[in-house]
Amino acid sequence: MTRLTAILMVTLTLGLIGPVLAQSVVSSSSDGQVEINADDGIEWQRDTKAYIARGNARAERSGIEILADTLTAFYRDGHSENGQRIYRIDADGKVRVQSTSEKAFGDKGVYHVDQSVFVLVGEKLRLETQSATITARDTLEYWDKRQLAVARGEAIVVGSDGRLRADILTAHIAKGSNRNIDQIDAFGNVLVSTGAAIAQGNEGVYNPKTEIAILCGNVKITRGKNQLNGNCAEINLKTGKSRMVGGGRRIKGIFEPKK
């Protein structure tokens, strides 16, 4: 289908009757413009106050792009000078959310426009940045205004010689032009595995730049049949080395002698 160049300007002054089909929509949100376009056209459903974009659909707002097979944008009626305001965008099919330095992937998603929060669900949830890649089983959330990404359900970040897994991983994205992840907080059933050892704890903090993870709370490091128990541990996912550190609790070791 030949791509039309017409732009449908969404305002209350439109006097059209019945469904409208266009290739792109330009509307407003609480703090910026939202532009939506699609190869197979955009349908305006006036009764449900929604626009449905089909075929390589794309929405863009303030440097954030949402791409999917289908996008459904819901709007509220504003004042006459402001027109209609899009407040939510549902994405379905091969969903990708991207900015200049991050990409997130999923099967379905919801973008809460006013809060600048995107929630992805589906198989093979993944967030890619220049400094780290995070995967999740249940949901992947991207909080643009708070500079946070939250992965829930067997969330995993991979280092050079190991990986960190937890129920929840919260990635803090640095401000500035590079927008790298500078810290990842881990909560619940935290496990760090390297080629030489496995470390477990209640919670942890991971630095993607140094690839060092600090685990605290009922920490256990296992190397073969030998085990160290303590309150906190430091694990290097680059070298595979690990050690118990302070934390106010006596370190206990269990070692099996060589036969």
- Please give the average per-residue pLDDT across 167-175, as a whole number: 94
The secondary structure of residue 257, as a DSSP letter, is P
- Give Cα separations from 61 to 100, 126, 224 (angstroms): 13, 21, 52
Contact 50, 29 (CB under 8 A): no
pLDDT of residue 98: 92
Q: What is the CA radius of gyration of the chain?
A: 24
The string of pLDDT tens digits covering residues 103-152 is: 999 999 999 998 999 999 999 999 998 889 999 999 999 998 899 999 99
Q: What is the pTM of this model?
A: 0.83
- Please give the average per-residue pLDDT across 221-240, as a whole number: 92
Sign of the torsion formed by the C-alpha atoms of 130, 135, 141 and 147: negative
pLDDT of residue 224: 87
Q: What number of residues does the chain have?
A: 259
pLDDT of residue 121: 99
Task: Evaluate if residue 249 carries a pLDDT over 60.
Answer: no
Q: For the chain, give the mean pLDDT.
A: 84
pLDDT of residue 2: 34
Phi and psi at 11, nearest 5°, equal: -140, 165
Phi and psi at 47, nearest 5°, equal: -65, -40
Lookup result for tokens 């470390």: 199
Q: Domain 144-259 is of which CATH architecture?
A: Sandwich (2.60)
% residues pLDDT > 90 (the chain): 60
Class of the CATH-defined domain 1-123? mainly beta
Q: Where in the chain is the domain with CATH 2.60.450.10?
A: 144-259
The better pLDDT of the pair 31, 92 is held by: 92
pLDDT band of residue 18 (cuts 50, 70, 90) is: very low
Task: Evaluate if residue 6 carries a pLDDT over 80.
Answer: no
Task: Evaluate if residue 81 carries a pLDDT over 90.
Answer: no
- Please give the average per-residue pLDDT across 47-62, as a whole number: 94
Lookup result for tokens 């477990």: 200
pLDDT band of residue 14 (cuts 50, 70, 90) is: very low
